[in-house]
Structure 1
Amino acid sequence: MPALMLPEEIEALFTREDGSYAFARWGRPIAPIVFGVADETLAIVKGAVEAVVTLAGHQMAETDPELGTNLMFFFFRDWEELLEVPDLDRMIPGLAPLVNRLSSEEASQYRAFRFDDEGAIKAAFVFLRMKGEMAQVPAETLALTQAVQVMLLWSERAFSEVSPLAVLPENGNTILRPEIAGVIAAAYDRMMPVAAQDASHALRLFARLQGPAPDQQEHTT
């Protein structure tokens, strides 16, 4: 059985920098698309998303009836390349100043979410600048990390110090940390809300972690 997280540790995963609690999960099947990678990397990214979706007990789809695709991954080398993507400025308001800010900060990644009327995630955009350390991360590890981070609306600080992944010492395989897998599975329990702004939600997640551990998804790197 995986090591259980304490209620305050779960709460911290969804507590914003301003101290507010904000949780959301996907409210519709996930239809991903990936730009800027070779076919073999495309398969790795989609496979990682499918693995985490399966863990959560959620669903994948070929298309979203409203949006076509609702999870977009963009791989590139320079932030300015995003300004050349057709219609991206319509999907990401304020794209030009955002690109300027991320470029000046030499950021390596950025995620943006869109929500439906109930507060559930209805679309997400993942931007990955493949330079420096980011370019050295194995594709499987990068894909699984990003799939985890887009599955829920985590705090911006949730994985700033500790990765959601772990390496098995006996074989070097990379897995999703059991306690994080447990939180994802609990968050998608059909009795749980799709969105929450009260920290008592973390206690409900904790209560569901007392049950059987979810199967782990393993990726060889």
Structure 2
Amino acid sequence: MPPEDIEALFTRSDGTFLCARWGRPIAPVVFGVDDATLATVKGALEAVCTLAGHEIAETDPELGANLMVFFFREWSELPEVPNLDRLIEGLPDLVARLEATGANQYRVFRFDAGGAIRACFVFLRMDADLSAVPADTLALVQVTQTMLLWSDTAFTDRSALGRTEGGHVLLRPEIAAVIRAAYDPVLPAVSDDPAHALRLSARIAAGRPA
């Protein structure tokens, strides 16, 4: 994967570059789904964490759960979630903006003192469009988008997922390679230097830490 293509994945619409990975084990909790969907989401998380060589934990010592995924029907339900306003600053204003734009998903990241991801909140309003997406596809997309701090435009033109000839959904090989390289312990957990893309590209090309 050419360095310029990797750089584009982490260059935001305002022109700034930032690549960050999780700096701690991921402790997930999922709200608003049945047991089957819960198992699908956790299965997707386990698969991508295995790919990245990153740990999953039962609990986070600071937050309890540091990856929270909410499934719901209307944005107006969020302010009713106990204590969510303590975790998401300006929650009423955020809900109003999302309702006004007709959004069906939103992610909020929190970072540690060094800039690595320490928490992520994923909100999925199950409108007709999202409800039409198979659960395994939706789960894999969301997990992929929480594993790294991708650009806000990274997947606007092309999904992170692809399909095999048999119709199975999986990560595009180049996206899987970027995730694996980004979690190389030799690399910093956070970089705002576009040259970081060169280091990622070198590891991908070598197929092993360079």
Aligned pair 1:87/2:83, yes or no?
Answer: yes
Q: Counterpart amino acid of 1:8?
A: E
> What is the distance in 2 between the residues matched to 1:99 and 1:188?
33
**RMSD, aligned α-carbons:** 0.8
Q: Which residue of 97, 102, 106 corresponds with 1:110?
A: 106
Q: Counterpart amino acid of 2:51?
A: L
Aligned pair 1:212/2:198, yes or no?
Answer: no
The answer for the alignment partner of 1:122 in structure 2 is 118
- Give the total of aligned pairs: 208
Q: Which residue of 191, 194, 203 corresponds with 2:189?
A: 194
**Aligned-pair CA distance for 1:88:** 0.5
Q: SS where residue 112 of structure 1 aligns?
A: strand
> What is the distance in 1 between the residues matched to 2:104 and 2:187?
33
Q: What are the superposed Cα offsets for residues 145-190 of structure 1, whole Å, 9 maximum, x if unpaired?
A: 0000000000011011100000112x11011100000000000001
TM score, norm. by length of structure 2 = 0.98
> What is the distance in 1 between the residues matched to 2:43 and 2:61?
22
> What is the distance in 2 between the residues matched to 1:203 and 1:72?
32
**Aligned-pair CA distance for 1:23:** 1.1
Q: Counterpart amino acid of 2:54?
A: H
The answer for the alignment partner of 2:55 in structure 1 is 59
> What is the distance in 2 between the residues matched to 1:206 and 1:127?
32
Q: Counterpart amino acid of 1:197?
A: D
The answer for the alignment partner of 1:16 in structure 2 is 12
Q: SS where residue 45 of structure 2 aligns?
A: helix
**Aligned-pair CA distance for 1:53:** 0.5
TM score, norm. by length of structure 1 = 0.93
Q: Which residue of 173, 177, 182 corresponds with 1:178?
A: 173
Question: Which consecutive residues of structure 1, in runs of 5 or more, have no partner in the other structure?
Answer: 214-221
> What is the distance in 1 between the residues matched to 2:19 and 2:174?
17
The answer for the alignment partner of 1:96 in structure 2 is 92
Q: SS where residue 205 of structure 2 aligns?
A: coil
**Aligned-pair CA distance for 1:19:** 0.2
Matches within 5 A, 1:28-39: 28-39=24-35
> What is the distance in 2 between the residues matched to 1:30 and 1:95?
23
Q: Counterpart amino acid of 2:77?
A: E
**Aligned-pair CA distance for 1:140:** 0.2
State percent identity of aligned pairs.
62
**Aligned-pair CA distance for 1:212:** 2.8
Deviation >6 Å, runs of 4+: none
The answer for the alignment partner of 1:219 in structure 2 is none
Q: What are the superposed Cα offsets for residues 104-157 of structure 1, whole Å, 9 maximum, x if unpaired?
A: 101011000000011100000000010111110000000000000000000011
> What is the distance in 1 between the residues matched to 2:8 and 2:184?
20
Question: Which consecutive residues of structure 2, in runs of 5 or more, have no partner in the other structure?
Answer: none
Q: SS where residue 57 of structure 2 aligns?
A: coil
